Amino acid sequence: MSKPSLLDFTKKELLTLIKPSFRVNQIFGWLYHQYAESYDDMKNIPKALREELAEKYIVNPLKIINKEVSTDGTIKYLLELQDGKTMEAVWLKMKDAIYTEDGDLAQEARYTICVSTQVGCKVGCSFCLTAKGGFTRDLTTGEIVAQVVALKRDNEHKHNRMINIVYMGMGEPLDNLDNLAKAIEIFKEEDGLCISGKRQTVSTSGLSNKIDKLGEMDLGVHIAISLHAVDDELRTELIPMNKAHNIASIIEAVKRFPIDTRKRVMFEYLVIKDKNDDLTSAKKLVKLLSGIKAKVNLIYFNPYPGTPYERPSKESMVDFADYLIKHGLLCTIRDSKGIDISAACGQLKEKNKL
């Protein structure tokens, strides 16, 4: 059994484990401001305390063993855990930096980190490459937190620079709800990375009962629903667990979910050629989301070897989006970032281990 990581604990918990309390402040700074990878990095911590902590806790529960860089700047990381298992996380450049005519920086580039919550996934979506590898285990809280720390460190992204987190990597986040919720709280720590709930989005394939549990936790996060179909027959083909959590149960759970009155619930709709890209489906989607303050994110299906599904045409995507917008739904078409390195939605599967 491997030792827990310091990244497994909230600051409040560390205050009960480490004395005196000012040492916790120092250690927290090393972890989340300096991105320390070992106790040797913590120069102002007494050697005796470092040795005592090292007997009980590790600092960093994962390491980067490979990374691939896309032509669009997306970086996919292969990460190895203490038990030798691997998973992936993705660094996404969302907006370029903006400069004035004089060459001064007006706005920094904006980034998002796509975080995994499990090694593999048990949901088994028919369109998703991650599902082909099966499910191995949940990630610990520290392993979820360490992904963000590792990617910020590798990209020399200062702790106080704005970053968004989307839990859209490997695994179903709500299947690992307790560890996920604790990681969310750790990210929000003011003395740490200070990533507010408003900048964290939990994506779920639709565990309706756990959508309710997440809502009861009142973490202040956004939620994104992987809907992908407007009728239960097709959705069950795409997402087999729809048999237990059908569309109606998901919609009702979403209506109960607490959201900022200024925000919208995101519905992810993976568009597959000749499956769900017709205007009849668009019409049904408008009706389905009636009464919900919703935003629809249309996503191109990203093909991979052996899949029976095909990528839709740009024309069908635009027509679909235009119909939704014309009928009152806020809608965007997501660019497929990192598709050339299999880092786009549904393509994450541990590979290229060095």
Which one of 68, 88, 143, 268 is the catalytic residue?
A: 88
Exposed / middle / buried, residue 183 (Cβ in 10 Å: 0-12, 13-18, 19+): buried
Do β-strands 200-204 and 164-167 pair in parallel, antiparallel, or remain unpaired? parallel
CA 172 to mean position of chain CA atoms: 10
Q: Which long-range contacts (CB under 8 A, 24 or more apart) does 148-151 make?
A: 148/113, 148/115, 148/187, 148/193, 148/195, 149/7, 149/31, 149/32, 149/35, 149/60, 149/193, 150/35, 150/60, 150/62, 150/63, 150/64, 150/77, 150/79, 150/89, 151/75, 151/77, 151/89, 151/91, 151/113
H helices of the chain, where? 11-17, 21-32, 47-56, 129-132, 141-154, 177-188, 208-217, 232-238, 247-256, 279-288, 314-326
Tokens of 287: 């009706």
Place of tokens 């720590």: 189
Task: Please state the residue numbers annotated as binding site for S-adenosyl-L-methionine.
Answer: 171-172, 203, 226-228, 302
Return the closest-CA partner of residue 130 out of 138, 121, 139: 121
Tell me the C-alpha to C-alpha distance, in Å, between residue 345 and each of 19, 53, 257. Answer: 44, 39, 25
Task: Please state the residue numbers annotated as binding site.
Answer: 121, 125, 128, 171-172, 203, 226-228, 302
Place of tokens 């911590």: 45
**Buried b / exposed e across 258-286, counting CB within 10 Å, b at 16+?**
ebeeeeebbbbbbbbeebbbeeebbeebb
Does the annotation count 80 as an active-site position?
no
Which one of 68, 143, 331, 345 is the catalytic residue?
A: 345
| Three-class secondary structure assignment of 260-313 | CCCCCEEEEEEECCCCCCCHHHHHHHHHHCCCCCEEEEEEECCCCCCCCCCCCC
Does the annotation count 88 as an active-site position?
yes
Tokens of 323: 């119909």
Residues with catalytic function: 88, 345
